[in-house]
């Protein structure tokens, strides 16, 4: 059965970051151990109830996409087995399917978001301004409508408890330089196109997604962290897609929709989640993993 882990504990390893979902530990030789927990965040708030098996599903999904897109963009993974770096006495079964050993990179300080459809905050932005993150769009578009071409819309990377904010491409250029900014944009769009083509063959539309990138000591760019998971993407069943509505999805939109029914100001602490929402979310993640990657976690 999938394991459940709300917070990792690895005595003897240096914890260098505890994020919304992932705990990151330092390893020798400029490597990291990245553990995907079962924590769930929504509206940038970590919720009190974990989703059992979620970290395992996220890791297996990411690993599938990292392997599939390696020819498009190199990634942060190493070939080092997780069990080789776990401290003595740690339950290997608890960590093996939710962890990876990666290169230690310098993060590009922006999230690289690609939007293929007009939904979520992009739809709200378009309704208010006629543009998507400052990029003008044709008048008369509807909710969930496919864009003529996918659009790169970077955002800041907020700390836990903070909120990401959309920024212009020029802002990215100002902070990291034009060459690196263009590399990130081109890589993001290329990965999205490759992934969207595969997903379409599985009956799934990728409405939008976000990537994270880092550079090594020589300035080479890698995609890192996670890739094309239900936490970082909107996956829609193609046979239920309709323009003008927010389609059903295999991702945490299921949780967001529930939270929108509550009298909650979207600030910490987050509300508890009912068992049926937890179970429903786990089922949606599992179905996405099976349909896209052919993986079932028994």
Helical packing angle, 54-68 and 178-201, nearest 10°: 100
Please indicate, yes or no, if residue 272 is contained in any of the structural domains.
no
122 neighbors 208 (Cβ within 8 angstroms): yes
Whether the per-residue pLDDT at 298 is higher than 90: the answer is: no
| pLDDT digit string, tens, across residues 151-207 | 999 998 766 555 678 899 999 999 999 999 999 999 999 999 999 999 999 999 999
Q: Which position has the higher pLDDT, 106 or 253?
A: 106
Measured from the Cβ of residue 57, the count of other Cβ atoms closer than 10 Å reads 28
Please indicate, yes or no, if residue 280 is contained in any of the structural domains.
no
Q: Which of 87, 104, 121 finishes a domain?
A: 104
Bridge partners, 99 (sequence order): 35
How many domains in the chain?
A: 2
Q: What pLDDT is recorded for position 1?
A: 66
Give the pLDDT band of residue 252 (cuts 50, 70, 90).
Answer: confident
CATH number at residue 100: 3.30.200.20
* Euclidean distance between CA atoms 173 and 184, whole angstroms: 11
Please indicate, yes or no, if residue 298 is contained in any of the structural domains.
no
* Euclidean distance between CA atoms 119 and 246, whole angstroms: 7
Write phi, then psi, for 29 (nearest 5 degrees): 65, 35
| Stretch (H or E) spanning 35 | strand 31-36
| Spacing of C-alpha 228 from chain mean position | 6
> Among 107, 102, 108, which Cα is nearest to 30's?
102
DSSP three-state, residue 130: coil
Please indicate, yes or no, if residue 275 is contained in any of the structural domains.
no
* Euclidean distance between CA atoms 118 and 123, whole angstroms: 5
Give the structural domain span for 37: 14-104
Q: Which of 77, 104, 131 finishes a domain?
A: 104
Please indicate, yes or no, if residue 2 is contained in any of the structural domains.
no
Same domain, residue pair 113 and 237:
yes
Average the pLDDT over each of 70-74, 247-251, 271-275 and give the range with the smallest value.
247-251
Q: What pLDDT is recorded for position 158?
A: 64
Please, which residues have CB within 8 angstroms of residue 146's CB and are 6 or more apart in sequence? Answer: 116, 117, 118
Same domain, residue pair 114 and 165:
yes
| pLDDT digit string, tens, across residues 76-129 | 999 999 999 999 999 999 999 999 999 999 999 999 999 999 998 899 999 999
99 neighbors 139 (Cβ within 8 angstroms): no
Same domain, residue pair 140 and 199:
yes
| pLDDT digit string, tens, across residues 43-70 | 889 999 999 999 999 999 999 999 999 9
Same domain, residue pair 194 and 227:
yes
Same domain, residue pair 39 and 182:
no
Same domain, residue pair 96 and 128:
no
CATH number at residue 246: 3.30.470.20
Same domain, residue pair 156 and 256:
yes
Give the pLDDT band of residue 241 (cuts 50, 70, 90).
Answer: very high
> Among 189, 124, 95, 183, which Cα is nearest to 151's?
189
Same domain, residue pair 119 and 218:
yes
203: region left, alpha or beta (phi > 0 left; psi from -120 to 50 alpha):
left
Same domain, residue pair 82 and 167:
no
Bridge partners, 45 (sequence order): 42
Q: What pLDDT is recorded for position 44?
A: 84
| pLDDT digit string, tens, across residues 255-292 | 988 999 999 999 999 999 999 999 999 999 999 999 99
Q: What pLDDT is recorded for position 240?
A: 96
The pLDDT of 12-25, averaged and rounded, is 96
Same domain, residue pair 25 and 44:
yes
Same domain, residue pair 70 and 148:
no
Tell me how far CA of residue 278 lies from CA of 40, 46, 218, 255, 265, in angstroms.
Answer: 10, 14, 43, 8, 21
Tell me how far CA of residue 292 lies from CA of 120, 125, 196, 199, in angstroms.
Answer: 22, 30, 11, 6
Please indicate, yes or no, if residue 39 is contained in any of the structural domains.
yes
| Spacing of C-alpha 11 from chain mean position | 28
Q: What pLDDT is recorded for position 2?
A: 75
* Euclidean distance between CA atoms 21 and 31, whole angstroms: 19
Q: What pLDDT is recorded for position 223?
A: 98
Same domain, residue pair 195 and 226:
yes
121 neighbors 134 (Cβ within 8 angstroms): no
Q: Which of 104, 128, 150 finishes a domain?
A: 104
């Amino acid at each position: 059965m999938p394991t459940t882990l709300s917070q990792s504990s690895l005595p003897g390893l240096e914890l260098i970051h505890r994020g919304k979902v992932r705990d990151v530990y330092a390893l020798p030789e400029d490597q990291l151990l990245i553990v995907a927990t079962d924590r769930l965040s929504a509206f940038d708030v970590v919720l009190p109830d974990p989703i059992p098996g979620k970290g395992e599903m996220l890791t297996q999904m990411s690993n599938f996409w990292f392997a599939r897109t390696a020819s498009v963009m190199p990634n942060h993974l190493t070939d080092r087995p997780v069990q080789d770096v776990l401290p003595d006495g740690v339950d290997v079964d608890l960590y093996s399917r939710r962890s990876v050993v990666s290169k230690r990179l310098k993060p590009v300080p922006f999230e690289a978001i690609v939007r293929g459809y007009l939904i979520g905050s992009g739809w709200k932005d378009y309704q208010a301004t006629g543009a998507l993150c400052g990029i003008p769009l044709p008048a008369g578009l509807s909710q969930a409508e496919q864009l003529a071409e996918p659009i790169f819309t970077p955002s800041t990377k907020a700390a836990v408890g903070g909120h990401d904010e959309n920024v212009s491409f020029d802002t990215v250029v100002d902070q990291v330089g034009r060459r690196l900014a263009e590399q990130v944009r081109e890589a993001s769009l290329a990965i999205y196109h490759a992934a969207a083509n595969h997903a379409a063959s599985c009956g799934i539309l990728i409405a939008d997604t976000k990537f994270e990138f880092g550079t090594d000591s020589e300035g080479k760019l890698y995609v890192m962290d996670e890739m094309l998971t239900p936490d970082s993407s909107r996956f829609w069943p193609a046979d239920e897609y309709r323009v003008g509505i927010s389609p059903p999805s295999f991702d945490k939109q299921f949780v967001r929709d529930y939270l929108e029914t509550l009298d909650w100001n979207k600030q910490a602490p987050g509300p508890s989640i009912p068992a049926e929402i937890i179970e429903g979310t786990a089922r949606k993640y599992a179905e996405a993993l099976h349909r896209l990657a052919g993986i079932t976690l028994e």
